[in-house]
A = this chain, B = another copy of it.
Amino acid sequence: MSKKPSLVKGTRDFGPKVMLRRKHILNTIENVYKKYGFLPIETPAMEQLETLTGKYGDEGDQLLFKILNSGDFASGVNAEMLNPSNKVQLLNEISEKGLRYDLTVPLARFVSMNRNDIAFPFKRYQMQPVWRADRPQKGRYREFWQCDADVLGSDSLMNEADLLNIASEVFDLLGPKISIQINNRKILEAIAEKFNLQQHFKSFVILIDKLDKVDFDSLVPEFGNLGLNDAQMSELKELLVSFSFEEASIQTILSHLQGFEKAQIGCNELLELHGYCTQTGIIDKVSINLSLARGLDYYTGCIIEIKATDVKMGSISGGGRYDDLTGVFGFEGVSGVGISFGIDRIYDVMEELKMFEDNLFSEVKAVFCHFDAAGRKQNYQLANKLRQEGISCEVYPDIKKIAKQFEYSDKKGIPMVLMTGETEINTGTISFKNLQTKEQGSIPILQLAEFLNSSIN
C-alpha cells in the first residue's frame, strides 16, 4: 500500500547538521542588521497574482508558482478556454494567488499599504524563503531563502555606506574573505551618452556585464556592431576596469566623462560614499567597477556586488539603490536602497573553505547513559538539574545496550557521554567518556555542571 515518498523537484529538506550551519549564517546576518537599526518584518508566502504579475518581466511571470483556487475552481471554465491561445483567460479563471517570488515586491506592497503607520526612513530586514519555477540545477533551487535589508524614504548615501559596512561585518564574522565592487547607474548612462549609445543602452549594458567572465578584446566585434570605432573602444577599455576606491580614481573617471552632467552627479555620489567608507575603514575591501550593471532595469544609483575572493563562485551578495519602488502600488516618490545575502551560495563558499566549526553540529553538552532503570532515574534527576542551570543535555530514554547509547551520542555529534551505574549511585559520582578524545574518568555529581561547562565541546 505504502509508496516511497519523494521531494518536489528543486526543493530540499534540511537535516539537523545543515540546519545548524544555516542558522549560524542567518543569525549572524540578523544580528548585524539589528545592530544597524533594521527591524524585522514578514509577509505571507501567498500574494495576489495581480500584486506579482508584471513585476519581474515576462520570464518572471512564467516562473511564478500559481495556486489553484479553493473549492470549485473549474466551475467557470468552458471548453473554449482550453484552447492554448486562451491560456491567460483560463489562468485568470482558476488561479488568483501566487507564491512570493522575491522579498522586494512584497516589501513595496507592505510599505504602500502601511505608509501611515511606518516611521520613515523605513529600515527593515526580512529573511524568508521565495519560490521560482526555474529549471533546477546545481546551486539553483525552486525554494530558496533571501535575506534582505532595505532603507526606504531616504536619499542619504549614508545608507549605502551602512549596507557596505554591514556586508563587511557579516563576512568578517562568518569567515570568507570578500571583495566589494560598486558602480553607479548615472556614470553608466554618461558613458552611454559619450559613445552615443543612448539608443542601445540595454544592449550596451548586457555586453559590459559579460566582462565579468570574458576579457574586453573578445567583445570587440560586438562593440563594433554597436557602432564604436577603434579610438572609442580603446577609451572604453580604459574605463571598464576595476579602480581602487580612492579620490584619484574618481577624478580619472570624471576626466574621461567631462561635460556629462550625469557623470558629475554619479562621481559626486561616489565621493560622498568614499567619505563615509573612510570613516568606517572598509575602503580597502571596495573597488569601483564600471562594468558592473546587475539588475540594471531596477537600480538607479549605486550598484553593489560582493564576491568571495578565495572561491570561484558568482556573487554572494548584492544590492543597490532604486527610485520609486512603491510607485507601482500608488505610493510615489519613495527612494530606496537595499542589500541581499545569498544564503545558499554563502553556505557553499563556507563549506568549500571548511569554515564550519564542528561544534556547530550540536549545542548539546552531553548524553546521559545507563544500564538499568535505577541509573536512568538518577540520570533524569541530574539532567534536569543541569537544564535548570541552562546546560543543554539529554538522557537516553530507553534501556538498551550501552554501545547503542554511545552510538546515538556519536551519531548526533555529541562527544561527551555520562554513565550512571550501581557504583556511581553508591558513591555519588558519574563516569564520563569523551568519544572524540577517548579521555575518561569519574567525577562527583556535585561537580558535573562545572565539569561540562569547562570541558571543550
Which A52-74 residues have C-beta < 8 A from chain B? 62-63, 65-68, 70, 72, 74
Which A253-310 residues have C-beta < 8 A from chain B? 275-276, 279-280
Which A100-148 residues have C-beta < 8 A from chain B? 109-110, 112-114, 117-121, 123-124, 129, 131, 133, 142-143
Taking a contact as CB atoms closer than 8 A, the residue among B23, B37, B40, B377 that contacts A394 in the complex is B37
Taking a contact as CB atoms closer than 8 A, the residue among B15, B50, B143 that contacts A114 in the complex is B15
Taking a contact as CB atoms closer than 8 A, the residue among B5, B20, B275, B330 that contacts A40 in the complex is B20
Taking a contact as CB atoms closer than 8 A, the residue among B8, B48, B79, B387 that contacts A6 in the complex is B48
- Min distance, Cβ A150 to any Cβ of chain B, angstroms: 13
Flag if B5 contacts A329 (CB, 8 Å): yes
So how many copies of this chain end up in the complex? 2
Cα A44 to Cα B131 with chains together (Å): 10
Cα A158 to Cα B399 with chains together (Å): 11
Flag if A390 contacts B44 (CB, 8 Å): no
Known: A75-B84, A380-B276, A408-B120. A15 touches B41 (CB 8 A): yes
A183 within 8 A of B: no
Cα A408 to Cα B410 with chains together (Å): 52
Chain B, residue nearest A70 (CB): B133
- Min distance, Cβ A337 to any Cβ of chain B, angstroms: 10
A12 within 8 A of B: yes
Residues in B neighbouring A5, C-beta threshold 8 A:
48, 50-51, 109, 112-113, 329
Cα A50 to Cα B4 with chains together (Å): 10
Residues in B neighbouring A65, C-beta threshold 8 A:
46, 67-68, 70
Residues in B neighbouring A161, C-beta threshold 8 A:
380
Residues in B neighbouring A43, C-beta threshold 8 A:
13-14
Flag if A3 contacts B50 (CB, 8 Å): yes
Q: Mind listing 16 A-B residue pairs with CB under 8 Å? A: A2-B330, A4-B329, A5-B48, A5-B51, A13-B44, A14-B41, A16-B41, A37-B367, A37-B393, A67-B67, A67-B68, A74-B87, A120-B408, A279-B377, A279-B380, A280-B384
Beyond the given A3-B330, A14-B41, A19-B41, could you list 4 further A-B residue pairs with CB under 8 A, ordered by the A residue number? Answer: A2-B327, A11-B46, A39-B412, A44-B143
